[in-house]
Amino acid sequence: MLDLLSYGATGWGDELLQGAGMTLLVAVLAYLIGLGAGCLTAAAKLSGPLPLRWLAATYTTVVRGVPALLVIWLLFYGGSGLVGWMAGLFGYGGRVELSAFAVGVASVGLVSGAYAAEVIRGAVQAVPKGQLEAARALGMHRLLILRRILAPQALRYALPGLGNVWQMTLKDTTLVSVVSLAELMRQAYVASGSTRQPFLFYLVAALVYLVITTLSETGFRALSRRADRGVRRATA
């Protein structure tokens, strides 16, 4: 049975490994998009003009309110047309295609961004207002306040939440398998259909996800510890 997992032409080991690579690639790209979108959305929610705030609220409410699977299907079917239409606004009339990869990264990133936005907003709001007022009173420039006062503290508050968003993003990549992107879940699906050994392949997939989530959780904890250095805690 183990030869099914071997590396090479007869086993599925190499396909699974490539799938795991694809999973990580999609997850990392989607997470980065999510962080970017999350920052912008949080900024809009906190200090944007009213229409922007409204737009940001709609984005986070809608995307967090519908299943990620639905977002993927929607983008898979409707995404190409939409991007083509947007490209048309900028004067590009050619054909625009979204590959399964692009659909996967965009949709998982979109979902990731909505959750990241809430985490970041909460973290920024957790920084005591008095500190910002004090910094302004000292004549600090807005950017300097952002860099020295707001960002370091907000990051510290946001890290655990952003860690959760990462875990969620990673797990959401499994859903991209429905549009046949050859990530880990899809490879396990194909292998189990072809070899009639679903238990084996899904178990292996589960273990790989387990390893990735556990390692990244350790990573986020280390980051959190680093961000927490110098903060005195009440001794319990």
Element (H, E) at 149: none
Binding segment for other proteins (CB under 8 A), chosen from 48-56, 123-131, 150-158, 220-228, is 48-56
| Contact string (CB under 8 A) for other proteins, positions 154-193, x = contact | ----------------xxx-xx-xxxx-x--x-xxxx-xx
What are the distances in angstroms from CA 234 to CA 3, 125, 231? 55, 22, 10
Contact yes or no for 100/175 (Cβ under 8 A) = no
d(CA 59, CA 162): 18
For residues 174 and 178, give the distance between their C-alpha atoms in angstroms, rounded to a whole number.
8
The residue range among 82-90, 119-127, 153-161, 227-235 that interacts with other proteins, by the rule CB under 8 A, is 82-90
Is residue 10 a contact point for other proteins (CB under 8 A)?
yes
Least distance (Å) from other proteins to the CB of residue 198?
Answer: 4
Site for other proteins in 26-45 (CB under 8 A): 36-37, 40-41, 43-44
Q: Please, which of residues 50-69 interact with other proteins by CB under 8 A? A: 52, 55-56, 58-59, 61-69
Binding mask 89-118 for other proteins (x = CB under 8 A): ----xxxxxxxx-----x---x--x-----
Measured CA to CA in angstroms, residue 231 lies from 30, 104, 112, 144, 224 at distances of 32, 39, 29, 21, 11
